[in-house]
Structure 1
Amino acid sequence: MTTTASRPTVAGALRGRVIKFAERITTPLVPSDYLEVINPLHFGAGLRGRIVAIQPETRDAATIVIKTGRGWRTHTPGQYVRIGVDVKGVRQWRAYSLTSETGRRDGCIAITVKAIPDGVVSNHLVRRATVGTIVQLDQAAGEFTLGAQPPCKILFLTAGSGVTPVMGMLRNLNAPDVDVFVVHSAPTADDVIFGDELRALARDGRIRLVEKHTDTSGMLDVAQLEHLVDDLAERQTWACGPAGMLDALERRWSADGFADRLHTERFRPTVVTPGAGGTVTFAKTGKAVDAGGAQTLLDAGEAAGVLMPSGCRMGICFGCVAPLREGAVRDLRTGDITSAADGVLIQTCVSAAAGACEVDL
């Protein structure tokens, strides 16, 4: 009994001596730093992933398959993940919808990214990222999901890259009795992200699909939706796409008296009439820049070379929060003015200068 009980103590002491010796010979680093270099996805490091595949979807969109570290928890279909990517020596954070099946055996997740004009991260991921690149990750977040029990009738209304969270739901929807209708808008048939897969689902009878090719047939007319979906009022609707489309849907659903049946996901904040703008001073760097009333503090700071924390860039994740030391800012979503006071925090991704102001960055 004495011998058996003493073994863990002896082993623990020996392990402690080995660790101390390793720390002495690796100073100023510690052994975990070297482990991080050898295996950057090991448990205990910041949550990371490694790009293992890049699959083109359209001329300007690609699916990025990422092997996650052991700290990753599974996601709910429809959620997004914040990705940290180093572009030209600067770490940029963006949020992208998860399009993969949950609980993949290979431990991978997937995001599908559409390159947008002047999009630093989206163009990098679609056109320049390489297999083997290490990216930073946050846990999945977002409430644009079907919930624990999907309704018996579903309508998905999407446009452009707005189809990405919906594809995440479709790939994980194991409910053959659910009646699913998909209405998707894109400039041409070739521009439909996941076009082949959506059409295959329609041929197999798993969904009903209407494609709206806007280059030839114009924009979706929200006022005429019942001509496409005759039981519109009976369906729970999930919509994702440009702000103008979502605004029109919200007005219609509200006017028709079933606003509670509409669930929307916005990739960008809705912008109200901008304020006057002003000079923004970034206190820690001493840099000052003249910013327009429609320009976010985040964009103004990045343009001036200030290292700005950021995340979703649409006012959801609070990854860009910073103290406002002087002056006032306008919330571009609501038009509300926030004035400097002790400890007041602002979201730089949805705030614009309302006159001269100073931010503690």
Structure 2
Amino acid sequence: MGVLKAIHRAASVWTSPASPEDYLQIINPLASARQLRGVVTEVRRHGARSATISFRPGRGWEPHLAGQWARVGVEINGVRQWRSYSLSAAQGHDPEITVTAIGRVSRHLVEHTKTADVLFLAPPQGEFILPTGPRPLLMITAGSGITPVMSMLRTLIPRRPDADVVLIHSARNEDDALFIDELRTMDRQYAGLTVVIHFTGNNGRIDFSNASAVETVCPDWRSRKAYVCGPTELLDDTEKLWANAGLPQGLQVERFAPALLAPSDTDGGTITFAKSDKEAVCDGSTPILEVGEEAGVIMPSGCRMGICRTCLTPLVSGQVRDLRTGEIHADEGELIQTCITAAVGPVHLEV
């Protein structure tokens, strides 16, 4: 290690004022000691609104487990924006994300990403993963909630002849159904997978809070370990059903957004971002993280759900409300989670 440091110091004499890494990145865009990166190897379009982006990560990436997610960063108008995306590739393969063009960053990825582009990355994380031992499984997904489950199916089904998996996937229509051709092929090819695709545009939604409705598509749902990913309503309904059945431990959910209280019409105010010398007027229901990003402030962020605490920012003055619990935070110097708090009157932040 001492030899490497000596070589780095010697090289710095010739590259100053830039660092040796800055010159190395010209040759290898993944070479960075400061920021994990990945180079895009393929972009596959799924209609006009979705795309799968495959990438080869650089040094520091940890191989993902099926079902995990990772933070992905891109620069938009000179500001680096981060979002969390489920990894859809099978475990043991180079990672990929499947993105639907909803929101600024997702639209940018779908509409502008091309082969050889460089993405900023953080290592995979998340506990929405397959069980360690064989057991019957039930996967319930809707919309883009199929993404982490697709990684699970691609990992488990081809490798385990003893697999017993039922997938119930809801989509608005056939054009909006991600991976539909692959799912149908897997359903035909593997006896251990049963795929039920439900189009809500024609048939309405399945009431997953109703035991009889679930039994219609999966009679033995109570005996299966269940994984659910999709819109908040789906997650709330399934959690209610499994709790009423006395089986809360048999259900594992993956939320793309935190469960929030009803929006406030009375709160809000002006947020001053001290270090960035910017101000923004906001309502009482928009997270401070989103307000700052819209104003062009480089905000620390991670899961954007109040879990990872990457977004912690010192509160200089003012009051903020936790959008999940309604709790007010007003202590000077307190570290607040900007992804799940909103302003209550004028707020000054140390960012």
What is the TM-score of this pair, normalised by structure 1?
0.89
Distance (whole Å) between structure 2 residues aligned to residue 23 and residue 91 of structure 1: 27
Match of residue 113, structure 2, among 129, 135, 142: 129
Residue aligning to 1:114 = 100
d(CA) in 2 for partners of 1:190, 1:282 = 43
Counterpart in 2 of 1:217? 203
Q: CA deviation at 1:288?
A: 2.9
Alignment partner, residue 136 of structure 2: 153
Gaps of 5+ in 1: 1-11
User: After superposition, where does 1:11-30 map in structure 2 within 5 Å?
Assistant: 20=10, 22-30=11-19
CA distance in 1, matches of 2:8, 2:323: 56
**1:233-272 → structure 2 map (5 Å cutoff):** 233-272=222-261
Determine the C-alpha separation between the residues in 1 that align with 2:23 and 2:215: 61
How far, CA to CA, are the matches of 2:137 and 2:171 in structure 1? 21
Aligned to 1:7: none
Structure-2 residue corresponding to 1:360: 350
Residue in structure 2 matched with residue 197 of structure 1 by the alignment: 182
Check conservation: 1:278, 1:353, Cα contact below 8 A: yes
CA distance in 1 between partners of 2:329 and 2:160 (Å): 47
Instruction: For 1:127 and 1:304, locate their aligned partners in 2 and report how far apart those are by CA, in whole Å.
Output: 22
**Aligned counterpart, 1:41:** 30
Q: Partner amino acid for 2:220? A: D
Which residue of the partner structure matches residue 166 of structure 2?
A: 181
- The runs of 4+ residues in structure 1 deviating greater than 4 Å are 15-19
Deviation at 1:16, TM superposition (A): 5.8
Q: In the TM superposition, what is the alpha-carbon distance from 1:198 to its structure 2 partner?
A: 0.7
CA contact (8 A) 1:58 1:193 kept: no
Amino acid at match of 1:247: D
- Do residues 207 (structure 1) and 212 (structure 2) align? no
Q: Per the alignment, do residues 34 and 262 of structure 1 end up closer, same or farther by CA in structure 2, a change over 3 Å counting?
A: same
Q: What is the aligned partner in structure 2 of residue 345 from structure 1?
A: 335
- Post-superposition Cα deviations, 1:137-156, rounded to whole Å, max 9, x if no partner, equal 11100000113224x21000
1:340/1:232 CA distance change after superposition, 3 Å: same
Which residue of structure 2 aligns with residue 166 of structure 1?
149
Distance 1:335 1:39, change over 3 A: same
Deviation of 1:314 (Å): 2.0
The alignment status of 1:144 with 2:128, answered yes or no, reads yes
8 A Cα contact 2:8 2:20, kept in partner: no
Query: Offset of 1:181 from its aligned partner?
Result: 0.3
Alpha-carbon distance in structure 2 between the residues aligned to 1:60 and 1:192 = 11
Matched, 1:336 2:327: yes
Give 1:62's aligned amino acid. Answer: A
Contact 1:36 1:45 in 2 (8 A): no
Quick one: percent identity of the two aligned structures? 44
Distance 2:84 2:225 in 1: 25
Deviation at 1:43, TM superposition (A): 6.6
CA contact (8 A) 2:25 2:32 kept: no
Q: CA–CA distance in 1 between the matches of 2:317 and 2:327?
A: 17
Question: Is the Cα–Cα contact under 8 Å of residues 43 and 71 in structure 1 kept in the other structure?
Answer: no
The letter for the 1-side match of 2:225 is Q
- Name the residue aligned to 1:280: 271
Cα distance change, pair 307–19 in 1 and its aligned pair in 2 (3 A): closer
Alpha-carbon contact 1:59-1:191 (below 8 Å) kept: no
Q: 1:55 and 1:149, CA in 2 relative to 1: closer, same or farther beyond 3 A?
A: same
Residue 29 of structure 2: SS of its match in structure 1? coil
Task: Report the secondary structure of 2:81's partner residue.
Answer: strand
Residue type matched to 1:155 in 2? L
- Whether the 8 Å contact between 1:53 and 1:65 is mirrored in structure 2 is yes
Shift of 1:200: 0.9
Please state if 1:298 is matched with 2:284. no
Supply the distance in 2 between the matched residues of 1:290 and 1:39 (Cα, whole angstroms). 42
Q: C-alpha distance in 1, partners of 2:31/2:294?
A: 35
Q: TM-score, normalised by structure 2?
A: 0.91
Q: Highest CA radius of gyration, 1 or 2?
A: 1
- Label 1:43 to 1:326 Cα distance change in 2 as closer, same or farther (>3 A): closer
Deviation at 1:45, TM superposition (A): 5.0
Deviation at 1:358, TM superposition (A): 1.7
Query: Contact between 1:81 and 1:141, CA under 8 Å: does it hold in 2?
Result: yes
User: What code does the residue aligned with 1:193 have?
Assistant: L
With over 3 angstroms needed to count, the CA separation of the structure-2 counterparts of 1:177 and 1:293, relative to structure 1, is same
Aligned partners of 2:268 and 2:303: how far apart in 1? 23
Give secondary structure in 1 for the equivalent of 2:263.
Answer: coil
Q: Cα gap change, 1:18/1:84 in structure 2, threshold over 3 Å: closer, same or farther? A: closer
Partners of 1:84 and 1:134 lie apart in 2 by 9
SS at 1:166 equivalent: helix
Aligned residue pair count: 341
Instruction: Answer yes or no: is the 8 Å Cα contact 2:41–2:54 preserved in 1.
Output: yes
